[in-house]
Amino acid sequence: MTMKRVLSGIQPTHDSFHLGNYLGAVKQWVELQHKHDAFYCVVDLHALTIETDPALLRKRSLASAAQLIALGVDPDKCTLFLQSHVSEHNQLGWIMECLAGFGEASRMTQFKDKSQKSGTDRTVVGLFTYPMLQAADILLYQADLVPVGEDQRQHIELTRDLAGRFNSRYGDTFQLPEAYILKAGAKINDLQDPTSKMSKSANSMQGVIEIMDTPEVNAKKIKSSMTDTGREVLFNEKEKPGISNLLTIHSALSGRSISELESEFAGKGYGDFKSTVADVVVDYLRPIRQRALELLEDESGLIAVLRQGAEKAQVVAEKTLASTYKNLGLVER
Ligand code: ATP
Ligand code: LTN
């Protein structure tokens, strides 16, 4: 039996991923690579929809790749690459733009939210066509499964619609992908505002655990996380959102069950518990940060790894693009 094909992407919009990105997304990428033919890309072209300083974009693209590898995405077990290294993404993106209706693209909630926030004058056309480039990312690799967060469901539905439309107009060309929505249990909240999700665009980074922060900074953030009322360490998201979030983090990183942790901390206060969580997080992240820093020190080595990934990706992408062009009636060269 052939392995199912998986594809996912992450934007290099920040210097560091946070614990939510890892536990909610990258950890599943790592698990999926063992039993699937997985393609993972840093979607640097998508990041151009937000104006970024060129030096910063370059730095963040490399830092994202280094962190993915340090977190366990293994270039020998999957295909890891930068989107801009495989030009077929842009080429198929245009075909997708010519297939999508203006109305259906206008219904994408991510576009509506983001364009509303920045206003029409500051919204680039690329933000509108973003989902069609994303569809190209997925369809080029004939992906069966696309691991993403709930917020991306609509984009995957659009991708399926576009693939189905193309297939029925021009003949079978694309595999129809399915969203592989990550478990709700993997949602990590902000340490200072534990009723909202941990997010890169939070107002304050005090409640965000960044992979590339020093162990000291992260330990301090956990020890000074918001304190709930009461004093027992119990999982109760309504009454103790802060402690529940810390229990989720501890359990996800240590592999121990929440009830086991509740018994261990029975009769002990929040202070003891927070110190233990700080140790667990810091011990987990220390070697990861170290590894990412080492990878970044050898920039040409890292770029060589990404180039190999791009070469592997391109073999698949070229094949899909060639049959797409042929089925559309574009004349062969
Ligand atoms: P922003 O909030 O600024 O949109 P983000 O921090 O949510 O950014 P994204 O780039 O949107 O990060 O997300 C990358 C991946 O990480 C997505 O698959 C998303 O579902 C996942 N993710 C982000 N934040 C969390 C979180 N707090 N808990 C679990 N998963 C998360
Ligand atoms: N839009 C996604 C990132 C993304 C992606 C993809 C995810 C771009 N291309 C292809 C899965 C498959 C996001 O904002 N998380």
- What's the token pair of residue 241? 């959102």
pLDDT of residue 5: 98
Let me know if 114 is a catalytic residue: yes
Closest ligand to 150 CA? 1
CA distances from 303 to 15, 47, 88, 295, 310 (A): 17, 19, 19, 10, 10
Ligand 1 atom nearest to 190, measured from its CA: 27
Identity of the amino acid at 183: K
Measured from the CB, is residue 163 less than 6 Å from ligand 1?
no
Q: What is the dihedral of CA 225, 229, 231, 233, to 10 degrees?
A: -60
Let me know if 221 is a catalytic residue: no
- Reference 297, options 307, 289, 286; nearest CA is 289
Region of residue 4 (phi > 0: left; psi between -120 and 50: alpha; otherwise: beta):
beta
For atom 15 of ligand 1, which residue has the closest CA? 21
Among 17, 46, 88, name the best residue to mutate to test ligand 2's pocket (greatest count of ligand atoms within 8 A of Cβ).
46
pLDDT of residue 184: 58
Measured from the CB, is residue 198 less than 6 Å from ligand 1?
yes
pLDDT of residue 185: 56
Ligand 1 atom nearest to 189, measured from its CA: 27
Q: How far is the CA of 324 from the centre of ligand 1 (A)?
A: 32
pLDDT of residue 205: 94
Task: List pocket residues of ligand 2, CB cut-off 6 Å.
Answer: 7-9, 11, 43, 46, 134, 137-138, 146, 148, 152
pLDDT in tens, 172-201: 999 999 999 876 556 899 999 999 999 988
Let me know if 197 is a catalytic residue: yes
Closest ligand to 179 CA? 2
CA distances from 86 to 192, 299, 310 (A): 40, 20, 6
CA–CA dist 176, 164 (Å, integer): 7
Q: In tens digits, what is the pLDDT along the chain, a chain of 333 residues?
A: 689 999 999 999 999 999 999 998 999 999 999 999 999 999 999 999 998 999 999 999 999 999 999 999 999 999 999 999 999 999 999 999 999 999 999 999 999 998 998 888 889 999 999 999 999 999 999 999 999 988 899 999 999 999 999 999 999 999 999 999 876 556 899 999 999 999 988 889 999 999 999 999 999 999 999 989 999 999 999 999 999 999 999 999 999 999 999 999 999 999 999 999 999 999 999 999 999 999 999 999 999 999 999 999 999 999 999 999 999 999 998
- Reference 229, options 215, 240, 217, 245; nearest CA is 240
- What's the token pair of residue 170? 């021009």
pLDDT in tens, 44-92: 999 999 989 999 999 999 999 999 999 999 999 999 999 999 999 999 9
Closest ligand to 64 CA? 1
Measured from the CB, is residue 184 less than 6 Å from ligand 1?
no
Ligand 1 atom nearest to 147, measured from its CA: 18
DSSP line for 188-249: -B-SSSTTSB--TT-S-GGG--BTTS-HHHHHHHHHTSPPPSSS----BTTTBHHHHHHHHH
Ligand 2 atom nearest to 7, measured from its CA: 12
